[in-house]
Structure 1
Amino acid sequence: MPSPIARRAAMLLGMIVLLLLTGCGEKRPPLSPRGQASQLGADVMRGRQLIADYGCVACHTIEGVKGPVSRVGPPLKDMALRAYVGGVLPNTPENLVRWLLDPPAVDPRTAMPDMGMSVADAKDIAAYLLTLH
């Protein structure tokens, strides 16, 4: 009959194996879309201009776009390295476009308004933001 210490060690080993096995299975998408901006088929430089046109810099500091120093919304530096968009959606190119199209529909508690942008504009802006890393 195994000693109590041996039984505990065996139980602990079994739990570790079980935890390792739960990590196996379906491949999950990366938490950040670094290098995936091209999936949008968008115009990065047009996106940069649209950020200025929509006045995004009134609330956000955005690398490469001139504007006032603002602290209303978070700075969008390193957007391509973030795990989440708006703190609620996994950061994928498609989710960033979804967020840009209608932030309150995604998170009713957000202060970011629906800017009424077109899908093409949202894709271009997302493509630019996803170059920031």
Structure 2
Amino acid sequence: VMTGACGESRPPLSPPALAAGKGLDADPARGRRLIAERGCVACHTVTGVRGPASNVGPPLHELWRQAYLAGVLPNTSDDLVRWLLDPPAINPRTAMPATGLQKADAEDIAAFLLSPDGARGRAP
């Protein structure tokens, strides 16, 4: 009985409209391109973005289903943007370096990562 609650049919923890970057002037397709261009896949596996098999950082698939980002922030698009801009400012013990992203870039990446379509490897 308990294992039935663990299936794929569970609802997302944050509303898809919020997760998809609603309220941000964001472009998830550009976010997907930025993930490849900025080398995020050197540390993270991202569904739909080609790169080396990497296990340095956590995989970033179905991020929209997670309750927390990096174990410390509620999973909202605004908090993901904050994290992407300067991870050590939020958690000084993180292995993720300051990214040097511009806010618009972080918003686009957040829109892709938090989009249910993006998480399945399709351009939203």
TM-score bucket of the superposed structures, by smaller chain: 0.7 to 0.9
8 Å CA contact 2:13, 2:64 repeated in 1: no
Identical amino acids, percent of aligned pairs: 62
Scaled by the length of structure 1, the TM-score of the pair is 0.74
CA RMSD of aligned residues (A): 1.4
Distance in 2, matches of 1:32 and 1:107, equals 22
In terms of fraction of residues, the more helix-rich structure is: 1
Opposite residue 47 of structure 1, the aligned amino acid is G
8 Å CA contact 1:79, 1:129 repeated in 2: yes
Larger relative contact order, structure 1 or 2 (CA cutoff 8 Å, min sep 6): 2
Distance in 2, matches of 1:117 and 1:33, equals 26
Q: CA deviation at 1:39?
A: 2.2
Alignment size in residue pairs: 104
Matched with 1:80 is 64
Segments ≥4 residues shifted beyond 2 Å: 30-35
Scaled by the length of structure 2, the TM-score of the pair is 0.79
8 Å CA contact 1:47, 1:125 repeated in 2: yes
- Report Cα offsets for 1:25-75 as digits up to 9, x if no partner: xxxxx9535331222220010000000111000000001100000000000
In structure 1, runs of 5+ residues without a counterpart are 1-29
In structure 2, runs of 5+ residues without a counterpart are 1-11
